[in-house]
Amino acid sequence: MRKIMIEMLQKKVWAVVGATGNPEKYGYQIMKSLMDQGYDVYPVNPNYETIEGVKCYPSLSACPENPEAVDVVISPDKALALVDEVLALGVEYLWFQPGTFDGEVMKKTASSGLKTVYGPCVMVALREGI
């Protein structure tokens, strides 16, 4: 998994599915951390027009370009449907934050051939310079 983490962090265009305007939530903190590190980030959440002045998209499909990597900050039941959208768009890399995946999600991503990280927080990986 470390190899995939390193590959993903070299990708410069990310989407954060579950981004939020609430600074107390991980969806906000992850988006900001990636942006502060120089990544182009598309926040994805149908409940927001903008977050921190950045246009927010209702779905991955609505983003103006396909992200190279997707960070998942939504519940496992929503993440399961997200995997189908990721596959349809041809995105290769998915990073599941703690609490965003379950056995069903892991089974679906494993059978799809997606390059996937489960569990470690992307903010920790950025801080540690992985």
What would the 3-class secondary structure string for 69-117 be?
EEEECCCHHHHHHHHHHHHHHCCCEEEECCCCCCHHHHHHHHHHCCEEE
Strands 115-118 and 13-17: unpaired
pLDDT band at 130 (very low <50, low <70, confident <90, very high): confident
List all residues 6 or more positions away from 17 whose beta carbon is below 8 Å from its beta carbon: 44, 45, 60, 70, 71, 72, 73, 74, 82
The answer to whether residue 40 sits within a structural domain is yes
Flag whether pLDDT at 1 surpasses 90.
no
Domains of the chain: total: 1
The answer as to whether 18 is a domain residue is yes
- Report the pLDDT value the prediction gives residue 129, as an integer from 0 to 100: 79
126 compared with 41, residue with greater pLDDT:
41
Identify the band that residue 2 occupies on the pLDDT scale cut at 50, 70 and 90.
confident
Distance, in Å, from the CA atom of 78 to the CA atom of 7, rounded to the nearest integer, reads 25
Q: What is the pLDDT of residues 82-125, one digit of tens each?
A: 999 999 999 999 999 999 999 999 999 999 989 999 989 999 99
Q: Is residue 105 part of a domain?
A: no
pTM: 0.95
Measuring CA to CA, which residue among 53, 45, 55 is closest to residue 19? 45
Is residue 129 one of the residues assigned to a domain? no
CATH code assigned at 52? 3.40.50.720
Tens digits of per-residue pLDDT, 45-88? 999 999 989 999 999 999 999 999 999 999 999 999 999 999 99
117 falls within a domain: yes
For residue 17, what are the domain limits? 2-99+110-124
